[in-house]
Chains A and B, each alone.
Chain A
């Protein structure tokens, strides 16, 4: 257990953007008793905060499960591209396991090994991706998580040239090897009948890396089901409502939009990209252009939505607005979140979207 705890603390330290979440938990622990308040410090660097968290667990002001939950919350939501899929109609798909049946999926992925004996794991593989967790919720939802380690060459920007005897020039570039850890998640939402493929976008070395990570996840899932067993969730109505019904009071209060992309009836593409992602409606010309596109049957394919915080239904931990891009891609509709968010914040945003599907 000590090794496991040590790994959890190390993961927390390694995860970029995790400091605020750690501080929030330490603050929460501090508020639990006078004793905790006087002995647990809430300020300092990330390293110091983790030391304080260890101290709080050691003195039984907090439990190991809470630290474990904190790690899951941080590494499982935010800073991701999320593909939204749903099982293909019967007759068009031949999955090995029924996606909605967590037991069938677990057997296909891990044979007969009980998942409670296998997971959770906290160690990253030396190279490539391996399953690290499989959890099932009482409502039948399941979450499968893989940890991965990638090594790539990073240019050091140093180039030297040398003239050869035959008059040609030899150019020598310097590279250093860099290691990146990443987390991939497949999450089945039983009530929505949606499979989310959440791809970590942290530390990517090039533009193809996100697709490569998604392929890694498909490879891991292959014993249970494959790409041809799923189709994209239909987000046409969602995009139409978010963009063209944004002036409805209940929508206007919840969100604003900035970048939008549309397809005209002759398959031409139109992009509206406000400077520094300011609200699209701040410029009357942009607003009028979008109204004209709607009147001429342009169909939305991408929208960037800024979800406002501090409203009824928003979780307390949603302390600032959160930008989410929704795009119809060749792989299916994708949600993109650049910042780390809490699980509660992501659930709030997902439910906002789901109610408009």
Chain B
């Protein structure tokens, strides 16, 4: 994900959040190929250094500031996510497609919030 045009300062409201926002920025810079990410992915890789609650607050601020965009995907087996993204939870159909374009039935608990660069 190209982070150069994301203004992370929108989340710098205090020192703690600045630490979390900078950690998120570095992580995204190290994953330029990502077109989206989820809260779970960030926490799994960064929770050793920053409390996950802080990331939650950073993400909320970046979304509110229009720096990140929220959409919904379905978490599939093997760390995959649905090929298609949906604007709202109600738009998620009963079946989505994996990276081999095979259908996978959706459970409510597999629906996740995903974040992408707001273009």
Chain B residues near A276: list those with CB within 8 A.
Answer: 33-36, 81
Cβ-closest chain B residue relative to A259: B99
- Is A204 among interface residues, defined by CB-CB distance under 8 A? yes
Return the chain B residue nearest A336 by Cβ: B101
List of B residues within 8 angstroms of A338 by Cβ: 83-84, 97, 101
Q: Which of A259-281 contact B (CB under 8 A)?
A: 259, 261, 273, 275-278
Across-interface contacts of B65 in A (CB, < 8 A):
none
Q: Is the CB of B100 within 8 A of A327?
A: yes
**Interface residue total, chain A, C-beta cutoff 8 A:** 29
Task: Please state if A336 and B33 are interface contacts (CB–CB under 8 Å).
Answer: no
Contact B34 A205 (CB under 8 A): no
The verdict on B64 contacting chain A, using a C-beta distance below 8 Å, is no
Determine how close the nearest CB of chain A comes to the CB of B25; give it in whole angstroms.
Answer: 19
**Interface check B60, CB cutoff 8 A:** no
Question: Is B95 within 8 A of A258, CB to CB?
Answer: no
Residues of B within 8 A of A323 (CB): 101
A275-B33, A276-B35, A276-B36 known; A325+B94 contact, CB < 8 A: no
Whether the pair B80, A273 counts as a contact (CB closer than 8 A) is yes
CB within 8 A of B100: which of A154, A201, A259, A275? Answer: A259
Tell me whether B103 is interfacial, beta carbon within 8 Å: yes
Q: How far is the CB of B118 from chain A (nearest CB, A)?
A: 18
Does A292 sit within 8 A of B, measured CB to CB? no
A282 within 8 A of B: yes
Binary contact readout B74-116 vs A (1 if CB under 8 angstroms, 0 otherwise): 0000111101100000000111010111111100100000000
Label chain B's interface by main secondary structure.
loop
A300 to chain B, nearest CB (A): 13
Q: How far in angstroms is the closest Cβ of chain A from B112? A: 14
A167 close to B (CB within 8 Å): no
Residues of chain B contacted by A258 (CB below 8 angstroms): 99
Q: Which of A210, A282, A302, A327 contacts B103 (CB 8 A)?
A: A210
Q: Is A34 an interface residue (CB 8 A)?
A: no
Interfacial chain A residues near B33, Cβ < 8 Å = 275-276, 278, 282
Decide yes or no whether A45 CB sits under 8 A from chain B: no
Please tell me which one of the listed residues A81, A206, A210 contacts residue B94 in the complex, with CB atoms under 8 A apart: A206
Which A residues have a C-beta under 8 Å from some C-beta of B? 81, 154-155, 157, 201, 203-207, 209-210, 258-259, 261, 273, 275-278, 282, 302, 304, 323, 325, 327, 336-338
17 contacts across the A-B interface (CB closer than 8 A): A204-B103, A205-B94, A206-B103, A207-B103, A209-B103, A275-B33, A277-B83, A277-B99, A282-B33, A304-B99, A304-B100, A323-B101, A325-B100, A325-B101, A336-B100, A337-B101, A338-B83
Other A-B contacts than A201-B97, A201-B103, A276-B36, 7 sampled, CB-CB below 8 A, are A207-B105, A259-B99, A273-B80, A275-B34, A276-B81, A304-B99, A336-B101
